[in-house]
Amino acid sequence: MTVEAPTGPAALGQSRRGRWGAGSIAPVVVILVLLLVAVGIRQPDFYDPPALLAFLKRAAPLIILAAGQYFVIVAGDFDLSVGSLVTAEVVIAARLIDGDPGATWPVVALVLGFGLLVGLVNGLVTTLLLVPSFITTLGMYLILVGAVYTWTGGSPRGALSEEFRMLGRRGIEGVPWLGEIPYAVLILLVLAGLAILAMRSDFGKVLLAVGDNPRAARLAGGRVAGVRTIAFVVSGGCAAVAAILLGGFGGVSFQVGAGLEFTAITAVVLGGVVLGGGRGSVVGAMLGALTLQTLLTLLNLLGVAGALASAVQGLIILAAVAIGGLRART
Amino acid sequence: MHDVGKSFYGVSVLSNVDIDVYPGEVHAVVGENGAGKSTLMKIASGVHQPDSGSLRIAGEPVVLHNPREAQAAGVGIIHQEFNLLPERTVAENVFLGREPTRRGLVDRRAMRARTAELLASVGAETVRPTDRVGQLGVAQQQVVEIVKALSLDARILIMDEPTAALADHEVELLYALVRRLQARGIGILYVSHRLAEVFDLSSRITVLKDGRRVVTVDTADATPEALVRHMVGRELASYYPPKAGAPGAALVTLAGAGNGRLRPIDLELRSGEVLGVGGLQGSGRSALARALFGVESFTAGQMTLDGKPVRPRSPRQAVRAGIAYVTEDRKGEGLALSQSVLDNALLASRAATPRWFGGGARTTSVRALLAAVEVHAAGVDQEVRYLSGGNQQKVVLARWLAMAPRVLLFDEPTRGIDVGAKAAIHELIRDLADKGAAVLMISSELPELLGMSDRIVVMRDGALAGELPGDASEEAVLSLATGTPHEVPA
């Protein structure tokens, strides 16, 4: 802007991270396009706007979880507690609402608050007590599972109100051409926008630096512990939102969040985000989630059993991390 | 070793060095930091391969591709930092990776017996083969390292600053051990800063300087004064910017300030002045800078900034008080290597004074700063890891310039930087002082220290050993740093 010298720093060149380096989103975009083409061949009406929106609605919880997980992973940590947090939130909401429509909105607020609180505890234990986040959140996972089972006496009680379920199920109806715009998609768009803005802000840049080199971030005057803690809070909040949406289209059960932590981590890694922190974008993480959802849809269309889908997910996470490592080395 | 040369990334760190060690001889290698001692040792022990020249052991030319081959050829090395497993026993450490076996199982008894023998052979019966290494003292751990080398039938032992970690009474024990090894016909290459022990132990001394061998002398014919002259004797070839006239007012004062690593220090940092800090590595120079910057804060005494008492307890507080710190470990602590040039240059602004709005103006001014310090990169979006050392350092400088600090602490600001960029950084440092900043500059490189500083303090063992004017001699700095070579028995 102020300098025009061609060799100077203002001469924007293509960095070596550029197109295909570790942390870039190009590979996931290519995979996503290929998968979308494959789904389209298998099911031509997939591209009708209403069908596409319905697909996005199904993908929204995973994309939101992946966005939350991204903040934690890019700072160099893990959040393994989100799956059980989703379960806990749904079960808690069902029991507290117990079919009473009047309780809906207070309980939604409570669910969000509880998610943020769990994230805060994860963050403080990790940064103040210096427990590796892998262990902190694994512990939180077990605590939540145990607490929910104990609290409900072994099987979920109560029921979600129709108002609560509406958030995940319904949308703005009668929109020309698009048909119904699901609330889940709107919520997704708002959160995705916020996530992108956050990563472009000072906070996001410092978060990346913390994941890359915490000592350098600290010596530059950064609040390393604070930034990492906020990342956990974001992840907890995203898990709460995902729980609200999932409670809408799934039933109330202990299975609603099972395994979601690994699905989210797989999605983030698939999106080119490097485990260990410092590289990768939140857009990549969300595209990774969309790609994973597309793949699961395709497997479903091809008649692959659900059990095998889990194995495919395992293969993806191994391949993505291995390839990411190779790309980082070159 | 004959005619050995080595360069890293085009920077020659060792050229045409000849050195030889006879059986039963202690050959000392001395030189300033950066003279090429470590590189020489690493070549002798197979860590690095020479670009030119050759190595011969017992007359046979050898090529050592890695430390394992060096061990097999009979070269053992005792590093300053030990390579021991603290949770394992002495015997397990000595035979790590090549445990004696019986019927496929580790023969612990044989291992212990052999270790005991080796320990006895160096007169270290106080160390037992079954002791856990982590519970041993530093001197005993060193014995374990030596015994480990002996168990490999080392004929040549390289010792890197072996007394650096030892207490005074332990040094005597090491002397005795070295003499025993000598009597067994082992040739020892003894690397040290400390002239006193070099004179006590060695039969010959080689002085290295700027990667070249200056001289090899019989210890009997040498004097400490002559050695110091050889170590520093060089022309001030490089250009340094003109020094300050009269220094300004005191900006930072320390009164009895100290912590676990620093004895109470009284010091003034003055506006417009470059204060050089000399001393050996580990003398507390970096600890002083880190305490001023709140990394490992002062725990005692007073620190004032602009007459007001302050004691930064974190880098964040220091940065916000107007202090900047350019660390010695640029890659480990200075830069977030996977982030872009621009993001690195903006890191302090964003981290210490985050904002929601107005980021654009800040970015514009940091881009201008990057241009002003003449960072050469493919673009501001390039990852900083791909820049040369000099350009990386300029990125760090731009980061701090954006904060307009009043106090700047530089720790080895030009380490690993090519000559051209070095001069540019020197000018930037001087320019900052001329604009009224108080600059503290730590340097192991004496010409830089003398060429840049308006005033010099020399540190030794965590305390200020003395203060010198900016036009002091290299000998004066070195004698304060090493503890007056005039007292060394000749």
Asked whether residue A121 carries a pLDDT value surpassing 70, the answer given is yes
> Is residue B382 less than 8 Å (CB to CB) from chain A?
yes
User: Comparing A169-173, A281-285, B245-249, which segment has the lowest mean pLDDT?
Assistant: B245-249
Give the pLDDT confidence score for residue B387 in this predicted structure. Answer: 85
Q: Which of A238-242, A243-247, A295-299, B148-152 has the lowest mean pLDDT?
A: B148-152
Query: For the residues B316-329, what does the mean pLDDT come to?
Result: 94
SS3 B350: helix
Residues 6+ apart with CB under 8 A from B9: none
Give residues 314 to 353 of B whose Cβ lies within 8 Å of A. 314-316, 318-320, 325, 327, 332-344, 346-348, 350-353
The DSSP 8-state label assigned to residue A15 in this structure reads: P
User: For position A285, what pLDDT does the model report?
Assistant: 96
List the single residue in B315, B359, B376 with the smallest CB-CB distance to A202: B359
Q: Is B490 on the interface with A (CB under 8 A)?
A: no
DSSP B201-266: H-SEEEEEETTEEEEEEEGGG--HHHHHHHHH-----S--PPPPSS---EEEEEEEEEETTEEEEE
Look at residue B73 and tell me if it is in a domain.
yes
B195/B257 same-domain check = no
- Taking a C-beta distance cutoff of 8 angstroms, is the pair A59, A291 a contact? no
Q: Residue B238's pLDDT is what?
A: 52
**CA B297 – CA A215 distance, rounded (Å):** 16
Residue B10 burial (C-beta neighbours within 10 Å; 0-12, 13-18, 19+): exposed
Residues B96, B227 share a domain: yes
List the single residue in A with minimal CA-CA distance to B383. A15
Given a contact cutoff of 8 angstroms between Cβ atoms, the answer to whether A260 and A90 are in contact is no
**Does the structure show a pLDDT above 80 at B11?**
no
How wide is the angle at C-alpha A181 spanned by C-alphas A175 and A186, nearest 5°?
A: 135
Residue A12 with chain B: CB contacts under 8 Å: 379-381
Put simply, whether B386 touches A (Cβ < 8 Å) is: yes
Can you name the residues that pair with B7 across neighbouring β-strands?
B12
Q: Is the dihedral of CA B394, B400, B402, B407 positive or negative?
A: negative
Are residue B140 and residue B175 in the same domain, yes or no?
Answer: yes
Q: What's the whole-number average pLDDT of chain B?
A: 85
pLDDT (0 to 100) of residue B24: 86
* pLDDT confidence of residue A15: 43
Of these ranges, A22-36, A158-172, A196-210, the one predicted with the greatest mean pLDDT is: A196-210
State the Cα–Cα distance between residues A322 and B125, nearest whole angstrom. Answer: 50
Question: What is the distance in angstroms between the Cα of B347 and the nearest Cα belonging to chain A?
Answer: 6
Q: Where are the alpha helices (DSSP H) in chain A?
A: 26-42, 49-74, 82-97, 104-128, 133-152, 162-169, 183-200, 202-212, 214-219, 224-249, 260-270, 282-301, 306-329
Q: What CA–CA distance (Å, rounded) separates B190 from B212?
A: 17
Torsional class of B127: left (φ above 0), alpha (ψ -120 to 50), beta (otherwise): beta
Cβ atoms of B433 and B272 closer than 8 Å:
yes
End-to-end CA distance of chain A: 32
Q: Judge: B351–A278 Cβ closer than 8 Å, yes or no.
A: no
What DSSP letter does each residue of A278-312 carry, written as one string? S---HHHHHHHHHHHHHHHHHHHHTT--HHHHHHH
Q: What percent of chain A has pLDDT over 90?
A: 60
Q: CB neighbours of B73 closer than 8 A, spacing ≥ 6?
A: B57, B62, B64
Interface test with A, best of B317, B323, B350, B369 (most A CBs within 10 A): B350
- Indicate whether A328 pLDDT > 80: no
- B73, amino acid identity: A
Among B128, B344, B291, B126, which residue's Cα sits nearest to residue A206? Answer: B344
How many Å apart are CA A107 and CA A231, to the nearest integer? Answer: 24
% of chain B exceeding 90 in pLDDT: 34
How, if at all, do strands B156-160 and B187-191 pair? parallel
Q: ∠ CA B222-B224-B230 to the nearest 5 degrees?
A: 80
Of B314, B318, B351, the CB nearest to A206: B351
Residue B191 belongs to a domain? yes
Listing DSSP states for A58-92 in one string gives HHHHHHHHHHHHHHHHHTT---TTHHHHHHHHHHH
Structure tokens at B114: 């052999």
pLDDT at A74 over 90: yes
- So what's the pLDDT on residue A9? 38
- Same domain? For B475 and B423 the reply is yes
The neighbour count for residue A215, using CB atoms within 10 Å, is: 17
CATH number at residue B96: 3.40.50.300
> Could you tell me if B183 and B260 lie in one domain?
no
Q: Is B284 left (phi over 0), alpha (psi -120 to 50) or beta?
A: left
pLDDT recorded at residue B419: 65
Strand-pair category, B101-102 with B105-106:
antiparallel
- Distance in Å from the first CA to the final CA of chain B: 28
Amino acid at B416: G
Closest CA to B158 of B121, B188, B137, B124: B188
CA A142 to centroid of chain Cα atoms: 20
Domain-ending residue, one of B181, B204, B232? B232
A:B CB pairs within 8 Å: 136
Residues of B in contact with A280 (CB under 8 A): none
Does B238 reside within a domain?
A: no
**Do the chains contact at B348 and A220, CB–CB below 8 Å?**
yes
Same domain, residue pair B173 and B282:
no
Q: Could you tell me if B236 lies within 8 Å of chain A, comparing CB atoms?
A: no
Contact of B398 with B369, CB cutoff 8 Å = yes
d(CA B425, CA B413): 8
* Contact yes or no for B62/B55 (Cβ under 8 A): yes
Pick from A10, A215, A216: CB nearest B371: A10
Q: Looking at the structure, do residues B179 and B255 belong to the same domain, yes or no?
A: no
A-side interface with B, Cβ within 8 Å?
Answer: 1-3, 5, 7-17, 23, 201-203, 205-206, 208-209, 212-213, 215-223, 278-279
d(CA A279, CA B128): 49
With an 8 Å Cβ cutoff, are A209 and B378 in contact?
no
Strands B300-305 and B212-218: unpaired
DSSP state of A274: P
Instruction: Using the 3D structure, point to which of B204, B232, B260 is the last residue of a domain.
Output: B232
Instruction: Identify from A205, A210, A274, A279 which residue to disrupt to test chain B contact, counting B C-beta atoms within 10 A and taking the largest count.
Output: A205
Residue B34 clears pLDDT 70, i.e. is over it: no
> How many Å lie between the alpha carbon of A318 and the closest alpha carbon of chain B?
23
Contact (Cβ atoms closer than 8 angstroms) between residue B178 and residue B139 = no
The answer as to whether B335 is a domain residue is yes
Question: pLDDT tens digits, residue range B378-409?
Answer: 889 999 988 888 899 999 999 999 999 999 99
Q: Are A279 and A23 in contact (CB under 8 A)?
A: yes
B267 and B192 in a single domain? The answer is no
DSSP helix/strand/coil, B420: helix
Contact between residue A25 and residue A269 where contact means Cβ atoms under 8 Å apart: no
Which candidate, B322, B381, B306, places its Cα nearest to that of B346? Answer: B381
DSSP collapsed to 3 states, B66-106: CHHHHHHCCEEEECCCCCCCCCCEHHHHHCCCCCCEECCEE
Do the domain assignments include residue B300?
Answer: yes
| Residue-averaged pLDDT of chain A | 88
Residue B110 forms part of a structural domain: yes
B260 and B226 belong to one structural domain: no
Residues in chain A closer than 8 A to B383 (CB atoms): 15-17
Nearest to B327 among A10, A15, A219 (CB): A219
Tokens of B239: 């250009």
Measured between CA atoms, the residue of chain A closest to residue B314 is A221
Share of chain B above pLDDT 70, in %: 92
In the predicted structure, residue B175 carries a pLDDT above the cut 50: yes
Task: Spell out the domain ranges in chain A.
Answer: 26-36+59-329
pLDDT at B100: 83
The answer to whether the Cβ–Cβ distance between B339 and A223 falls below 8 Å is no
Q: Give me the mean pLDDT over the A64-91 stretch.
A: 96
The pLDDT of B185-199, averaged and rounded, is 84
CA atoms of B311 and B297, how far apart (whole Å)? 7
Query: How far apart, in whole angstroms, are the C-alpha atoms of residue A284 and residue A291?
Result: 10
Q: Residue B345's domain spans which residues? A: 250-487
Per-residue pLDDT band for B67 (boundaries 50, 70, 90) equals: confident
Interchain contact, A206 vs B355, CB within 8 Å: no
Residue with tokens 């103040």: A128
Average pLDDT of A1-5? 36
Same domain, residue pair B310 and B434: yes
A6-20, A124-138, B33-47: segment of lowest average pLDDT: A6-20
B55 close to B61: Cβ distance less than 8 angstroms: yes
- Find the range with the poorest average confidence among A209-218, A261-270, B155-164, B456-465: B155-164
User: Does residue B264 surpass a pLDDT of 80?
Assistant: yes
Residue B359 or residue A142, greater confidence: A142
Do B26 and B142 have their domain in common? yes
Please check whether residue B239 lies inside any domain of the structure.
no
Looking at the structure, tell me whether residues B228 and B286 fall in a common domain: no
- Asked if the C-beta of B399 comes within 8 angstroms of chain A's C-beta atoms, the answer is yes
Buried b (16+ CB within 10 A) or exposed e, B95-122: beeeeeeeeeeeebeebbebbbebbeeb
Mean pLDDT, residues A156-161: 86
- Structural domains of chain B, count: 2
At B442, give phi and psi (nearest 5°). -90, 135
Residue in B339, B344, B386, B403 to test binding to A, most A beta-carbons within 10 Å: B339
